Amino acid sequence: MSDRQKGLIDAFKTTIPNADIRYCCRHIWTNFKGKFPGVVYKEHFWKAARSSTVHHFNIHMATIKELNEDAFKYLSEIPAQHWSRHAFTSARKSGMLLNNCCESFNNVLRKARSKPILQLMEWIRRYVIQRCCAKREGLKIFEGVIMPSVVKMVHMGLKEASAMRINQAYLNEFEVDHEDDTYVVNLENRTCVCYKWTLMGIPC
Protein backbone atom coordinates (compact mmCIF):
# COMPACT_ATOMS: atom_id res chain seq x y z
CA MET A 1 0.00 0.00 0.00
CA SER A 2 1.38 3.38 -0.95
CA ASP A 3 0.46 7.05 -1.21
CA ARG A 4 1.07 7.00 -4.99
CA GLN A 5 4.39 8.83 -4.86
CA LYS A 6 5.94 9.36 -8.26
CA GLY A 7 8.13 6.47 -9.31
CA LEU A 8 6.73 3.98 -6.77
CA ILE A 9 4.27 2.34 -9.15
CA ASP A 10 6.92 1.78 -11.83
CA ALA A 11 9.30 0.45 -9.17
CA PHE A 12 6.66 -2.01 -7.94
CA LYS A 13 6.00 -3.27 -11.45
CA THR A 14 9.72 -3.87 -11.95
CA THR A 15 10.70 -5.39 -8.60
CA ILE A 16 7.48 -7.09 -7.41
CA PRO A 17 5.29 -7.50 -10.53
CA ASN A 18 2.93 -10.02 -8.88
CA ALA A 19 2.21 -7.91 -5.81
CA ASP A 20 -1.30 -6.66 -5.10
CA ILE A 21 -1.01 -2.86 -5.09
CA ARG A 22 -3.35 -0.60 -3.15
CA TYR A 23 -3.47 3.14 -2.63
CA CYS A 24 -4.05 4.71 0.77
CA CYS A 25 -7.52 6.23 0.66
CA ARG A 26 -6.56 8.97 3.08
CA HIS A 27 -4.00 10.27 0.59
CA ILE A 28 -6.50 9.98 -2.28
CA TRP A 29 -9.07 11.90 -0.24
CA THR A 30 -6.54 14.60 0.72
CA ASN A 31 -5.77 15.24 -2.94
CA PHE A 32 -9.43 14.92 -3.95
CA LYS A 33 -10.80 17.38 -1.37
CA GLY A 34 -8.21 19.94 -2.44
CA LYS A 35 -10.01 20.09 -5.79
CA PHE A 36 -13.55 19.22 -4.66
CA PRO A 37 -14.12 20.20 -1.02
CA GLY A 38 -17.39 19.51 0.77
CA VAL A 39 -19.08 17.20 3.26
CA VAL A 40 -21.19 15.48 0.58
CA TYR A 41 -18.10 14.59 -1.46
CA LYS A 42 -16.45 13.20 1.67
CA GLU A 43 -19.46 11.05 2.56
CA HIS A 44 -19.79 9.44 -0.85
CA PHE A 45 -16.06 9.07 -1.46
CA TRP A 46 -15.61 7.02 1.72
CA LYS A 47 -18.79 5.02 1.09
CA ALA A 48 -17.51 4.21 -2.40
CA ALA A 49 -14.14 3.16 -0.96
CA ARG A 50 -15.79 0.91 1.66
CA SER A 51 -18.33 -0.61 -0.74
CA SER A 52 -18.06 -4.40 -0.86
CA THR A 53 -20.29 -4.71 -3.96
CA VAL A 54 -20.03 -3.03 -7.35
CA HIS A 55 -23.71 -2.06 -7.02
CA HIS A 56 -23.10 0.10 -3.94
CA PHE A 57 -19.88 1.47 -5.44
CA ASN A 58 -21.74 2.60 -8.56
CA ILE A 59 -24.46 4.25 -6.49
CA HIS A 60 -22.00 6.49 -4.66
CA MET A 61 -19.95 7.19 -7.77
CA ALA A 62 -23.16 8.17 -9.59
CA THR A 63 -23.99 10.62 -6.79
CA ILE A 64 -20.54 12.17 -7.11
CA LYS A 65 -21.09 12.42 -10.87
CA GLU A 66 -24.36 14.27 -10.31
CA LEU A 67 -22.55 16.72 -8.05
CA ASN A 68 -19.64 17.32 -10.38
CA GLU A 69 -18.62 15.59 -13.60
CA ASP A 70 -14.97 16.51 -13.07
CA ALA A 71 -14.96 14.98 -9.58
CA PHE A 72 -16.35 11.74 -10.99
CA LYS A 73 -13.75 11.74 -13.77
CA TYR A 74 -10.95 12.37 -11.24
CA LEU A 75 -11.86 9.26 -9.22
CA SER A 76 -12.65 7.14 -12.29
CA GLU A 77 -9.11 7.62 -13.55
CA ILE A 78 -7.83 5.80 -10.45
CA PRO A 79 -8.40 2.03 -11.01
CA ALA A 80 -10.96 0.78 -8.48
CA GLN A 81 -8.93 -2.35 -7.65
CA HIS A 82 -6.41 -0.07 -5.93
CA TRP A 83 -8.80 1.77 -3.58
CA SER A 84 -12.31 0.26 -3.36
CA ARG A 85 -13.06 -2.94 -1.43
CA HIS A 86 -15.47 -4.37 -4.00
CA ALA A 87 -12.63 -4.63 -6.51
CA PHE A 88 -10.01 -6.10 -4.18
CA THR A 89 -8.89 -9.64 -4.94
CA SER A 90 -10.11 -12.22 -2.44
CA ALA A 91 -6.68 -13.89 -2.59
CA ARG A 92 -5.48 -11.22 -0.13
CA LYS A 93 -7.48 -11.59 3.07
CA SER A 94 -7.44 -7.92 3.97
CA GLY A 95 -9.85 -5.08 3.45
CA MET A 96 -7.42 -2.38 4.58
CA LEU A 97 -7.92 1.04 2.99
CA LEU A 98 -5.30 3.00 4.94
CA ASN A 99 -1.56 2.57 5.38
CA ASN A 100 -1.74 3.27 9.11
CA CYS A 101 0.81 0.51 9.82
CA CYS A 102 3.36 2.15 7.52
CA GLU A 103 2.66 5.60 8.94
CA SER A 104 3.10 4.31 12.51
CA PHE A 105 6.38 2.60 11.64
CA ASN A 106 7.55 5.70 9.79
CA ASN A 107 6.85 7.71 12.92
CA VAL A 108 8.93 5.27 14.99
CA LEU A 109 11.84 5.70 12.56
CA ARG A 110 11.89 9.45 13.07
CA LYS A 111 14.63 9.27 15.72
CA ALA A 112 16.84 7.01 13.57
CA ARG A 113 16.19 8.40 10.10
CA SER A 114 19.35 10.53 10.04
CA LYS A 115 21.63 7.53 10.67
CA PRO A 116 23.80 5.99 7.90
CA ILE A 117 22.06 3.09 6.15
CA LEU A 118 23.87 0.26 7.99
CA GLN A 119 23.29 1.85 11.39
CA LEU A 120 19.67 2.48 10.44
CA MET A 121 19.17 -1.19 9.51
CA GLU A 122 20.77 -2.28 12.79
CA TRP A 123 18.50 0.11 14.71
CA ILE A 124 15.45 -1.38 12.95
CA ARG A 125 16.65 -4.94 13.70
CA ARG A 126 16.97 -4.21 17.40
CA TYR A 127 13.67 -2.36 17.52
CA VAL A 128 11.85 -5.33 15.94
CA ILE A 129 13.51 -7.75 18.38
CA GLN A 130 12.49 -5.63 21.38
CA ARG A 131 8.94 -5.21 20.09
CA CYS A 132 8.51 -8.95 19.47
CA CYS A 133 9.81 -9.68 22.96
CA ALA A 134 7.40 -7.17 24.51
CA LYS A 135 4.49 -8.76 22.61
CA ARG A 136 5.48 -12.23 23.84
CA GLU A 137 5.58 -10.98 27.41
CA GLY A 138 2.17 -9.40 26.97
CA LEU A 139 0.71 -12.67 25.70
CA LYS A 140 1.79 -14.45 28.87
CA ILE A 141 -0.97 -12.70 30.80
CA PHE A 142 -3.55 -13.06 28.02
CA GLU A 143 -6.55 -15.16 28.96
CA GLY A 144 -8.76 -16.75 26.34
CA VAL A 145 -8.50 -18.42 22.97
CA ILE A 146 -9.62 -15.67 20.58
CA MET A 147 -7.86 -12.31 20.41
CA PRO A 148 -9.94 -9.24 21.43
CA SER A 149 -9.87 -7.75 17.92
CA VAL A 150 -11.36 -10.96 16.48
CA VAL A 151 -13.98 -11.14 19.25
CA LYS A 152 -14.99 -7.59 18.36
CA MET A 153 -15.45 -8.61 14.71
CA VAL A 154 -17.53 -11.64 15.70
CA HIS A 155 -19.79 -9.53 17.92
CA MET A 156 -20.20 -7.01 15.12
CA GLY A 157 -21.22 -9.82 12.75
CA LEU A 158 -23.70 -11.24 15.28
CA LYS A 159 -25.27 -7.81 15.74
CA GLU A 160 -25.70 -7.43 11.99
CA ALA A 161 -27.03 -10.98 11.63
CA SER A 162 -29.75 -10.38 14.23
CA ALA A 163 -31.35 -7.80 11.92
CA MET A 164 -31.30 -10.05 8.81
CA ARG A 165 -34.11 -12.12 7.31
CA ILE A 166 -33.26 -15.48 5.76
CA ASN A 167 -35.05 -17.40 3.00
CA GLN A 168 -33.80 -20.82 1.94
CA ALA A 169 -33.53 -21.25 -1.83
CA TYR A 170 -31.77 -24.63 -2.11
CA LEU A 171 -30.16 -27.10 0.28
CA ASN A 172 -27.07 -24.98 0.87
CA GLU A 173 -28.13 -21.69 -0.68
CA PHE A 174 -30.00 -18.87 1.03
CA GLU A 175 -31.26 -15.38 0.26
CA VAL A 176 -30.43 -12.97 3.05
CA ASP A 177 -32.29 -9.65 3.33
CA HIS A 178 -30.30 -6.95 5.09
CA GLU A 179 -31.72 -3.43 5.23
CA ASP A 180 -32.69 -2.65 1.61
CA ASP A 181 -30.50 -5.27 -0.06
CA THR A 182 -30.65 -9.01 -0.73
CA TYR A 183 -27.58 -11.23 -0.81
CA VAL A 184 -27.09 -14.85 -1.88
CA VAL A 185 -25.14 -17.02 0.59
CA ASN A 186 -23.83 -20.46 -0.36
CA LEU A 187 -22.82 -22.49 2.69
CA GLU A 188 -21.20 -25.28 0.66
CA ASN A 189 -18.88 -22.88 -1.18
CA ARG A 190 -18.67 -20.51 1.79
CA THR A 191 -19.42 -17.50 -0.40
CA CYS A 192 -21.62 -14.45 -0.11
CA VAL A 193 -22.26 -11.91 -2.86
CA CYS A 194 -21.78 -9.09 -0.34
CA TYR A 195 -18.06 -10.02 -0.63
CA LYS A 196 -17.35 -8.42 2.76
CA TRP A 197 -16.64 -11.52 4.81
CA THR A 198 -15.00 -13.37 1.91
CA LEU A 199 -12.50 -10.52 1.60
CA MET A 200 -11.73 -10.65 5.32
CA GLY A 201 -11.17 -14.41 5.17
CA ILE A 202 -14.14 -15.18 7.43
CA PRO A 203 -16.36 -18.08 6.27
CA CYS A 204 -20.02 -17.17 5.79
pLDDT given at position 203:
46
pLDDT given at position 146:
85
Averaged pLDDT score across all residues of the chain = 86
Task: Give φ, ψ of 144 to 5 degrees.
Answer: 125, 180
- The pLDDT confidence band at residue 93, using thresholds 50, 70 and 90, is confident
pLDDT given at position 198:
55
Residue range 115-149, pLDDT digits in tens: 999 999 999 999 999 999 998 998 888 888 888 88
Q: Give the angle subtended at the CA of 177 by the CAs of 175 and 179, to the nearest 5°.
A: 160
pLDDT given at position 154:
87
Task: Specify whether the backbone of 4 is left (phi greater than 0), alpha (psi in -120 to 50) or beta.
Answer: left
pLDDT given at position 178:
83
Decide which of 89 and 74 is more confident. Answer: 74
Decide which of 145 and 75 is more confident. Answer: 75
- The pLDDT confidence band at residue 204, using thresholds 50, 70 and 90, is very low
Domain boundaries, the chain: 8-87, 100-139, 148-199
Run of H or E including 124 = helix 117-139
Distances, alpha carbon 145 to alpha carbons 52, 84, 140, 142, in Å: 29, 32, 13, 9
Tell me if residue 127 falls in helix, strand or coil. Answer: helix
**Radius of gyration of the chain from Cα atoms?**
21
Residue range 26-40, pLDDT digits in tens: 999 999 999 999 999
Residue range 177-188, pLDDT digits in tens: 888 788 888 888
Q: Give the angle subtended at the CA of 183 by the CAs of 59 and 164, to the nearest 5°.
A: 105
* 2 DSSP β-pair partners: 23
